[in-house]
Amino acid sequence: MEADELLKQALALSDKERAELASSLIDSLDPGVDADTELAWQEEISRRLADIENGRVKTISWDEVSRKGRALLDGR
């Protein structure tokens, strides 16, 4: 019962507050940080950002991503 009440309260938070809460809860499940993994992610993020900034990749809007995702799910 207590978890249900917490969920109701959490759902009443703003989007930003819910995202921060979700992140904190996920972090609490595995608080350890693997330095090698963290470094690999930072390098990947930097590479992808450089690809966007240099025009090597084209971004698409969230609306297009959402539309394509729905089309894929509808086709299952």
CA gap 13, 71 in Å, rounded: 31
Give residue 34's pLDDT: 85
Q: Where do we find the tokens 């959402």?
A: 66
Give residue 32's pLDDT: 81
pTM for the whole thing?
0.50
Note whether 52 and 41 are within 8 A (CB): no
Mean pLDDT (10-residue bins), the chain, 76 residues = 92 95 90 87 97 96 96 88
Q: Return the HEC string of 3-32.
A: HHHHHHHHHCCCHHHHHHHHHHHHHHHCCC
**Cα dihedral 33, 34, 37, 39 sign:** positive
Give residue 11's pLDDT: 95
